[in-house]
Structure 1
Amino acid sequence: MSEIKISYQKIYKNLVRTHRKYFAVKIMKSTLVFGLFASGFLIVWLGINLLFDVSSVTRFVFFLLLLLGLFFYTLIRILPDLREIFSPSDQELFRTAKRAGNMDESIQDAVLNYIQLYNNRSSAGSEAIRKKALQQLSLRISSFSLREYSTARTAIPYLRWITLPLSVFIILWILIPDSVELATKKLLLPWRNYIQPFPLTLINESGDMEVLKNDPVTLICSSQGMKPDNLFLVIEDLGQDYSNRKNTSIEIPLPTSNRYEYELAHVSNSFSYYFSAELNQTRYRHKKALSGISVVKVVERPVIRTLQVNVIPPSYSGLDASSMAPNDGEITAYPGSTIRLSIEADRQLSQAYLVFADSSQIPISVAGHTGKASFTPGENTSYSIRIFDTDSIGNDNPVTYGIYLLNDEFPFAEIKQPGADVDLGDELMVPMLISIRDDFGFTGLWLRGSVFRQGYSKDSTSFELKIPFESFEKGKALSDFTWDVTSFYLVPDDYIQYYAEVSDNDRINGPKWYRTQSYTIRLPSLLEILARSEEKQLDQLERIDEISEESRQLKEKLEEINRELKKESEVNWERQQEIKKQMEKQTDISEKLSDIQQKIDEVVKELSENEVLSPEALQKYMELQEMFQELAPEELKQAMNDLQQALEKADFNQIRKSLEKFEMSVKEFEENIKRFHELFKRVQLEQKMDELIKLAEKLNQEQTEINEQLIESAMPEENFPKLEMKEENIGKNAEFLAKEMGKAGLNYQEVMKEMSRMLEEARNYMNEQELQQRIQEMQQQLGKLSRQEASKSGQELKSSFEMLQAMLQMAKNDMMNQQKQQISEAMQKTMQDMLSTSFDQENLAGRSRQLSPASPQINDVARQQSRLMSSTNQLIQQLIDISRQTFMLSPELNKHMAEAFRNMNQSVQKLEERNPRQAHNHQMQAMAGFNKGLMTLQNSMNQLSQSNSPSGFQEFMEQLQKMSGQQGALNQESMSLFQQQGGGRPQLSEDALARLAAQQEMIRKSLQQA
């Protein structure tokens, strides 16, 4: 054997030995690692078994998992290493050689290279070189010991770690040996059951019971052994279906003793129950001590299945009996109502009661399952129904119902007419309308109050009148009557303060009363009425003056705006606002006029009710009211609407045209106001005469009444003081009459001196007759109860008052005749001037028809037409002056004259344009306007003639009647001819014009003869 082989075998044996030792150490390490993890896992599992009661199945599964883990660990980590020990592989030997060489830097891969070089005989190179290399490698590794490579000391750290779980186990064994022993047995023998007895026993002492529904029940339990840490009462409701039953666990507070009680306040259903206890010790965790199961059976109480309440109202109410809804025990009724109550229970009843809030009871008559009772409530209260079955078991917690008594409401009355303080007129009759209502009815309606004499409350008498009423609806009635207060013998300044009082028909608590608001009926003196009306009229005159001034300023402002617009090409925002402001002013003026109209209506109504105005004066007031409606003509309203629309569209041309129309309408409006103002003043003068006549008539009437009472032989002496007061009132009225005649005379001095003179004569007559002194003497005679002397003085005074009344009536008649004469003369003159102007216009139209555009006479015709325009303007002014004196002048007359004036103006323009044909056309239309104006004026004169006209006026009207027919026919023919015109071209023939001219000449001659 060669040296090289011997060296190889030696090195190879050392390598194998080292290889086996390495894997033996590796197997030891793997075993220690598995033991470390297994022991740790076992310690954890031991702790789990100490803390919890792990089932045997779980423990067995854990044991199997542990064995399975050991098997797979051995198969994967231990068996491969064992195989290397018993049958090393070349690859692993090479790795061992490499690992061993890496332990020394001088060796490194020498061992691996030596083994490979020796075994690789077929490699290229000479044998000598291979041997030489083997020798060198042998010498290199000869000093290296392979035994030092794999040592068991490397497993020492694993041995240290594995002592840790062993130490824990030993400590637990020392501390809790029994528990650790039991837990160890469970680990080693997991298929066995280790049951430890629970050291606590519960005893259900209350057991099975029967209780009434909704009664309380006390459940009792005792314990033996250890004291429980937690105690529970477990209840299962037996009233539910089996599938819906649920256990309810209630924790019971622990007392110091071993006896435990728990009370259920209300038991509604049967239930089973048991007690459960727990110990907080680890070994007994999740373990409980249970008592035996017992049953509490609930016995049902009697129940009212049906409750029916009937309410029978008191008879005086007239209400029908009513039934409450089933099972509705809330009672609402009027006092005196009878309540009938019936019940039906779920079982036989032995007795039942109605129990009220004050503990009083009313027995219910029972029969089997039902019961009935009746009572009459006297106050608001509450009640409940107590029932008992044949076992004397009563119903639980009976429902409490309320009894609410409705109030029999107080009656109500309202004086709807007059419903305010009023002044009496001459009739001493007051229309009354009283509305009353109550929920059930009435026993009576009275009018009560007091009469106060001469305004002093200390002299008063009370009165009471029962008045009828008529029901028109349940609980509602009206009393409509006329109250005649003549029996109170009122004199001026006396007043009645009254109210209505109604009582209802409450027979239970007695009738209730209601009193209305008090009102006053006063008998004003005629002096007061006249003074008040005069003051109001003066106020309205002042307001009309103010409105007239505002209208004048508005007209001037519109003229100024029109002038400015002619210089402008558009309307800016400021100008629009200025125009709108003027429109608002016009609207404000119209509203003020409406208010004045209302005030004048009130004055006229008061004067008419007291019969102060004559029929003629009243008619003129009515005409004044009609004038009010026409003060703002329709043209003004339309002009304002057109202007408003133009402003909204911002159309400059349309604004200018609309503003011009508005300006013209405002001018007409201003003229209407002036006319109304003048007519109003004239009517006031006539009214003043009516007032003076009325005063004189009143003096005569009152004196006559006193005289008639003095003649009566049966007049009691206590009436003399009343007659004395009436005579005193006559004296006041006479004094007032004298003053008013003086004031009226001054007013008439400016317009009618003759009227002023006649009033002065009447006043002097009063002074000459010494009326005031004679009235005072009669007062004294009445105070002394001197019937004959007073009667004689009264007759003399009556004669004087009749004379005074006649003088004033004559003065009024003269005034009316004088006014009519003046107006008729003015109308005659104006009509003659209109006819004259119309004839001149006719002649001028004839000349225009003969002219050619080149005629030199056109300028002369134009000048004459301008003069006729001036005459027409004067005629219009005359008509305006007449219209301010009478209502009989129709507003249409002014329109016709304005039409004639407009056509005359257009005729002048056409003549200036040297267009005589068109000028002739406008001249003929101007004649038509004159003809219509003449007819309108003639109608006005006819109306004036029908009133009491002075002599001479009627004859003039008869002569004009024939001319009126002729002029009317002529006017109709003229209009029909002009309506045949078309396109601005005249269609009148020579014969037609000649015929019209001849007819007009005949009318003119007839007028001259008249």
Structure 2
Amino acid sequence: LNKKLIDKKTLNYQEKKQVQDLLERQKKLQNEVEEMKLQNQKTNMKEAQYSEVDESIAEKQRQLEKLFEEIMSDEMKQLFEELQRMMENLDKDKLNEVMDKMKFSAEDMEKALDRNLELFKQLEFDKKLTETIDKLKQLSEEENKLAEKTDEADKKDQEKLSQEQDKINQAYDELKKDLKELNEINKKFEEPNNFKIPEQKKEDIQKDLDDSKDNLKDSQMKKAAKSQKDASKKMEEMSDMLFEMQQEMEEESLGEDIESLRAILENLVRISFDQEELMGKLSTISRNDPQYTNILDQQKNIKDNLVMVEDSLYALSKRQSMIESFVNREISAINDNVDQAMVALNNRVIPTAMGKQQFAMTSVNNLALMLAESMKKMEQNMSMKSSGKSGKSCPMPGQGKPSAKSMRQMQEKLNQQMEAMKKSMQEGKGEKGKKGQSGPGSMSEQLARMAAQQGALRKQLQEYRDQLQKEGSLNQKGINKALEDMERSETELVNKILNQETMRRQEEILTRLLESEKADMQREQEERRESNQGRDLPKPDPASFFNKMGESSRETEFLRTIPPSLRPYYKSKVNEYFLTIPSSN
């Protein structure tokens, strides 16, 4: 239809009908969204009214409600209204423009609806599993109470006790149906949960319940009471098994999703640097240069990589409600700009191509920021789950009191890298991406990595200071000054400032760390004198620290190179993420 709008000045009746059909299709889609939204709200209200909802389930419900609210964006509604107005007074050019926008909005809307439906099904599965666990726990308690009654009862109570046992047996039959239904629901997921019914335990419970019924029928009260107690105990065990399975499924799924998101972020980092490098090449090349076709090939490779990112991100968003809804819309904006850049490159209109490339790169940085925030939430959620399971926070790699010696060694290494980079910048080599002592990559990439390393060291020094304060042995005012200087250096590295003043400050930081190392040694000597048995403080290995930190810093380091067009709020959020994430991984 878009092609016909380009080729013809006016549309005939059949073509107008096609536009009208498109509007009807979108209205139908909108109605489906509203219907699903209402269904979700009604279910939530009903559950809140008649039962106490688990907090984790309630949070997922709130997230899903928010996603449903965001499906039908204001922009989409405006496009509908605009298209309807144009049907009466046809303006071919405007109609073509609106329909082109509408195509992307409609695709986003359909994707969002599919995503929400998958999340809705997962939420229903989670709720049903939680309800089943609670029912089983309740049945266990009822069976245990019945066992106590039976143990003290006479034969004359046999009929009444048998009736109570029958009710419990019937309830257990219903519970087995619930388990079967859960299994069927799970099989229908695009990526099923690792859910398995404990068949042996289920059959053992059934046998004990049947024995209880038969013994009561034969008025063998003691035997019946024993079978009832056995059934009660096994029900409780099965309830615990299902609960542990539920927790493991959630933790396993969340852990896998965090790793998937980390990989997506890494790919976005690479795409951002590739696009930046390509823009640099394009700015120095003529449209008639024989190498121009290489530019086209490289832009196509970037586009192909973005398609893989989009597919991975969409699959992840169907499992994780913590991925914001506008993330999928942002990737559509990236693809749109890259497509337009490809068209401009094919037509050899270099200024237009560079403009679209810049828009695409800005959108990539926006997307990375959104995903970084989502990953932060997911990691916090993972930490809370671990804390709830163990009763205390799960220790992260690198936790514990860092030693002043290891920090001094890492700071010394970082200072050497910065000095090498400063010389490279003075010689005009940094922007050309030549290799220096600080490793391969562009100047932006190397400065970003240095900022990440300084941020990680600052975090370690803060922990070191806090630990000394708890021990009551902090008497070095220099630590606070070192922390201030570290933060100032991070800010300068973010803004690509690396001068003699920066290096002077770095030397002062190193001097203060040397003082802390000396104080550490003195404290250790005093402890050895006071104790019959000395002990060594654990000292993290600098090389392994940077290797571990490198994996997480790669997905965040480029966020420091955000284009000037990004709003200050987002830039500050990037800085906050950049400075905190590397040291927590």
- TM class, shorter-chain normalised? 0.5 to 0.7
- 1:948 is paired with a residue whose SS is helix
Q: Does 1:736 align with 2:170?
A: no
For residues 20 and 157 of structure 2, what CA distance do their matches in structure 1 show?
A: 69
Residues 100-499 of structure 1: pairs in structure 2 closer than 5 A: none
What is the deviation of 1:867? 1.9
Take 2:80 and 2:269, find their aligned partners in 1: how far apart are those partners?
A: 37
**What pairs up with 1:415-814 in 2 under 5 angstroms?**
561-607=1-47, 611=51, 614-707=54-147, 723-745=161-183, 748=186, 755-756=194-195, 758-759=196-197, 762-767=198-203, 769=204, 771-779=205-213, 790-814=224-248
Work out which of the residue numbers 330, 344, 368 in structure 2 matches 1:896.
Answer: 330
Which sections of structure 2, spanning at least 5 residues, go unmatched? 387-393, 399-451, 457-548, 569-573
Q: In structure 2, what is the Cα distance between the partners aligned to 1:836 and 1:584?
A: 42
Quote the Cα distance in structure 1 between the aligned partners of 2:340 and 2:96. 21
The answer on whether the counterparts of 2:269 and 2:555 sit within 8 Å (CA) in structure 1 is no
Contact 2:255 2:382 in 1 (8 A): no
- Match in the other structure for 1:141: none
SS at match of 2:10: coil
Residues in 2 aligned to 1:910 and 1:890: alpha-carbon distance in whole angstroms: 32
Report if the CA contact (8 A) 1:845-1:920 is conserved.
yes
Whether the 8 Å CA contact 1:781–1:787 is kept in 2: the answer is yes
1:679 & 1:953 partners in 2: Cα distance?
A: 30
Shift of 1:806: 1.1
Residue equivalent to 1:944: 378
Q: Which runs of 5+ in 1 are unaligned?
A: 1-560, 978-998
**Cα distance change on mapping 1:718 and 1:636 into 2, 3 Å:** farther
How many Å separate the matches in 2 of 1:976 and 1:794? 67
Q: Deviations over 1:296-343 (max 9, x none)?
A: xxxxxxxxxxxxxxxxxxxxxxxxxxxxxxxxxxxxxxxxxxxxxxxx
Runs of 4 or more above 6 Å deviation: 715-720, 750-754, 783-787, 950-954, 960-965
Paired with 1:790 and 1:765, the residues of 2 have a C-alpha distance of: 19
CA offset at residue 974 of structure 1? 5.8
2:333 partner letter? E
SS in 2 for 1:851: coil
CA contact 1:728–1:776 (8 Å) conserved in 2: no
* One-letter identity of the residue aligned with 1:706: L
After superposition, the C-alpha distances for 1:613-642 in whole angstroms (9 at most, x for unaligned) are 643234323322322222222222111011
Paired amino acid for 2:255: Q
For 1:646 and 1:931, the matched residues in 2 are separated by 36
Residue identity matched to 1:637: K
Counterpart-to-counterpart distance in 1, 2:213 and 2:34: 48
Q: In 2, distance between residues paired with 1:765 and 1:583? A: 55
Is 1:971 the equivalent of 2:562? yes
Query: What is the alpha-carbon distance in structure 1 between the residues aligned to residue 257 and residue 213 of structure 2?
Result: 48
In structure 1, distance between residues paired with 2:156 and 2:243: 37
Compute the displacement of 1:939 (Å).
0.8
Please tell me the residue identity of whatever aligns with 1:681.
K
The answer (yes or no) to whether the contact 1:608–1:618 under 8 Å persists in 2 is no
Give the residue type in structure 1 aligned to 2:338.
M
Deviation at 1:917, TM superposition (A): 4.1
Q: 1:918 to 1:776 in 2, by over 3 A?
A: closer
- Taking the aligned partners of 2:162 and 2:43, their CA distance within structure 1 comes to 32
The residue type paired with residue 975 of structure 1 is: L
CA distance in 1, matches of 2:345, 2:187: 51
Would you say the 8 A contact 1:858–1:916 is kept in 2? Answer: no
Question: 1:842 Cα shift?
Answer: 1.4
Cα deviations by residue, 1:734-782 (Å, 9 ceiling, x for unpaired): 22333443454455467678834x42xx121222x2x334324434666
RMSD between aligned residues: 3.9
User: Closer, same or farther in 2 for the Cα pair 1:954/1:870, shift >3 Å?
Assistant: farther
What is the CA-CA distance between 1:672 and the residue it aligns to? 1.4
User: 1:859·1:911 contact (CA, 8 Å) conserved in 2?
Assistant: no
Which structure 2 residues correspond to residues 996-1007 of structure 1 after superposition, within 5 A? Answer: none
Distance 2:349 2:29 in 1: 45
Query: Is the CA contact 1:842–1:927 (under 8 Å) kept in the aligned structure 2?
Result: yes
Contact kept in structure 2, 1:741 and 1:763, CA below 8 Å: no
Deviation at 1:572, TM superposition (A): 3.6
Question: Contact between 1:643 and 1:662, CA under 8 Å: does it hold in 2?
Answer: no
Question: Separation in 1 of the partners of 2:268 and 2:396?
Answer: 21
Deviation at 1:965, TM superposition (A): 7.0
Higher-Rg structure is 1
The one-letter amino acid paired with 1:679 is L
Distance 1:666 1:953, change over 3 A: farther
The aligned amino acid for 1:922 is K
| 1:613–1:691 Cα contact (<8 Å) kept | no
Query: Could you tell me which of 264, 270, 273 is aligned with 1:836?
Result: 270
**Counterpart for residue 571 of structure 2:** none
- Tell me the TM-score normalized by structure 1: 0.37
Change (3 A) 1:707 1:615: farther
Q: CA contact under 8 A between 1:688 and 1:744: conserved in structure 2?
A: yes
Alpha-carbon deviation of 1:592?
3.6
Q: Residues 664 and 972 from structure 1, CA distance in 2 versus in 1: closer, same or farther, beyond 3 angstroms?
A: closer
> Does the 8 A contact of 1:612 with 1:694 survive in 2?
no
Asked if the contact 1:945–1:954 (Cα under 8 Å) also holds between the matched residues in 2, the reply is: no
Q: How far apart, in 1, do the equivalents of 2:4 and 2:356 lie? A: 31
Structure 1 CA distance for aligned equivalents of residues 125 and 230 of structure 2:
31
The alpha-carbon deviation at position 688 of structure 1 amounts to 3.8
Q: 2: CA distance between counterparts of 1:564 and 1:913?
A: 23
State yes or no: 1:925 paired with 2:373.
no
Distance 2:395 2:283 in 1: 40
Question: Which position in structure 1 is the counterpart of 2:256?
Answer: 822
Partner secondary structure for residue 566 of structure 2:
helix
Aligned pair count? Answer: 417
Aligned CA distance change for structure 1 residues 896 and 744 (closer, same or farther; 3 Å): closer
Q: Given the superposition, is the C-alpha separation of residues 873 and 754 from structure 1 closer, same or farther in structure 2, using an over 3 Å criterion?
A: closer
> For 1:3-14, what aligned pairs fall within 5 Å after superposition?
none
Q: How big is the shift at 1:875? A: 1.3
Q: Which has the higher helix share?
A: 2
Letter in 2 for 1:755: N
Structure 1 partner of 2:295: 861
Separation in 2 of the partners of 1:869 and 1:965?
21
Q: 2:558 and 2:276 mapped to 1: Cα distance?
A: 14
Describe the SS at the equivalent of 2:283. Answer: helix
Residue identity (%): 19
The whole-number CA distance in structure 2 between the counterparts of 1:674 and 1:810 is 30
User: CA deviation digits over 1:86-109, x for unaligned, max 9?
Assistant: xxxxxxxxxxxxxxxxxxxxxxxx
The 1:709/1:613 distance shift into structure 2, 3 A limit, reads farther
Residues 786 and 602 of structure 1: CA distance in aligned 2, closer, same or farther (over 3 Å) = farther
**Partner Cα separation in structure 1 for residue 21 and residue 89 of structure 2:** 17
Q: CA deviation at 1:855?
A: 3.3
TM-score for the superposition, normalised by structure 2: 0.62
